[in-house]
């Protein structure tokens, strides 16, 4: 059914998750997917892509003692490898993590994936909306889907549709890694890749499956670090608001 590549990020050791994903694709009649052996940050601490990580910049922005964990670096590297693959191929790509729950409308997305990728370089396929905290702006429709632009944030990287142009922009931006991959991708006001969400989502996250990714520890933060962190947060908020305002002024609703 799929006319574009579907790449599933999965640790080679997680045969249980690979089996679950394969069963979901079979149930939906979807072929054309393949697994990427995810980078295991704990077992591959010297992976060459980890040279992108900038712990000094991380400490300035988030406080000392809050380094990205090996699992977070491995997750970032895994997605980075697929961005490289997408850019080199010149074809859009659907990226899925192995804790994804594919919904019945996933095939509807695949039918329209190429057209969608021509409109927007990055489209989230999984939902993450908290009422009142994650505002959106409608930007169009295609078939049974409404496309909305996230104005603030989006968490996790469970599934997304990426165009070659989007991949190239993310790669150009990610010469230095400071934040986890999902936090980096949502910084649209820096790299210019707008954050578009498909509604209704065609993928959910399996919250019952323990995550292989562990975040930074929450330790007491010295006052200078707190002040510096809040300064960077305020700068981000100003840049985000300004970018959103400019987008609203430029945007013209596309024909459905």
Q: Is 255 a member of any domain?
A: no
Q: Is 256 exposed, middle or buried (0-12, 13-18, 19+ CB in 10 A)?
A: exposed
Q: Is 91 a member of any domain?
A: yes
Strands (E), 4-110: 6-10, 33-37, 93-97, 100-102
Name which residue leads in pLDDT, 206 or 79: 79
Q: Is 228 a member of any domain?
A: yes
Domain count, the chain: 1
145 φ, ψ (degrees, to nearest 5): -105, 145
17 Cβ partners below 8 Å, 6+ apart?
10, 11, 98, 99, 209
Q: Name the residue range of residue 231's domain.
A: 6-250
For the four alpha carbons of 153, 157, 161 and 164, in that order, the dihedral sign comes to: positive
Q: Is 36 a member of any domain?
A: yes
Chain segment 121-169, per-residue pLDDT in tens = 999 999 876 666 788 999 999 999 999 999 998 989 999 999 999 999 9
| C-alpha–C-alpha distance, residues 62 and 64, integer Å | 7
- pLDDT category at 255 given cuts 50, 70, 90 is very low
Three-point CA angle 92, 97, 100, nearest 5°: 110
Span 163-180, average pLDDT:
97
Residue 223, both tokens:
């006052």
SS3 24: helix
Q: Which of 163, 216, 170, 177 is nearest to 47 (CA)?
A: 177
Compute how many other C-beta atoms are within 10 angstroms of the C-beta atom of residue 145: 21
- What one-character DSSP code corresponds to residue 52? G
Q: Is 1 a member of any domain?
A: no
Chain segment 57-76, per-residue pLDDT in tens = 999 999 888 999 999 999 99
Q: Is 196 a member of any domain?
A: yes
Ranges 15-19, 60-64, 215-219, most confident: 15-19
Q: What is the CATH number of the domain that holds 48?
A: 3.90.550
């Amino acid at each position: 059914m799929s006319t574009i590549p579907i790449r599933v990020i999965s640790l080679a050791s997680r045969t249980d998750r690979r089996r679950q994903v394969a069963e979901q694709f079979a149930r939906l009649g979807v072929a054309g997917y393949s697994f990427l052996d995810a980078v295991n940050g704990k077992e591959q601490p010297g992976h060459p892509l980890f040279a992108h990580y900038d712990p000094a910049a991380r400490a300035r922005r988030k406080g000392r003692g809050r380094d990205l964990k090996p699992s977070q670096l491995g997750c970032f590297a895994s997605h980075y490898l697929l961005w490289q693959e997408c850019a080199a191929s010149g074809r859009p790509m659907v990226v899925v993590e192995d804790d994804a729950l594919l919904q019945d409308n996933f095939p509807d997305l695949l039918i329209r994936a190429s057209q969608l990728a021509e409109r927007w370089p990055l489209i989230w396929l999984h939902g993450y909306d908290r009422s009142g905290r994650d505002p959106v702006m409608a930007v169009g429709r295609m078939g049974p889907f409404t496309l909305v632009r996230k104005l603030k944030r989006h968490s996790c990287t469970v599934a997304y549709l990426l165009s070659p142009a989007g991949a190239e922009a993310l790669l150009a931006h990610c010469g230095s890694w400071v934040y986890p991959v999902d936090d980096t991708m949502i910084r649209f006001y820096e790299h210019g890749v707008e954050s578009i969400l498909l509604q209704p989502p065609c993928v959910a996250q399996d919250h019952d499956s323990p995550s292989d990714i562990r975040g930074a520890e929450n330790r007491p933060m010295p006052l200078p670090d707190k002040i510096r962190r809040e300064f960077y947060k305020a700068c981000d908020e100003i840049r985000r608001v300004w970018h959103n305002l400019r987008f609203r002024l430029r945007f013209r609703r596309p024909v459905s």
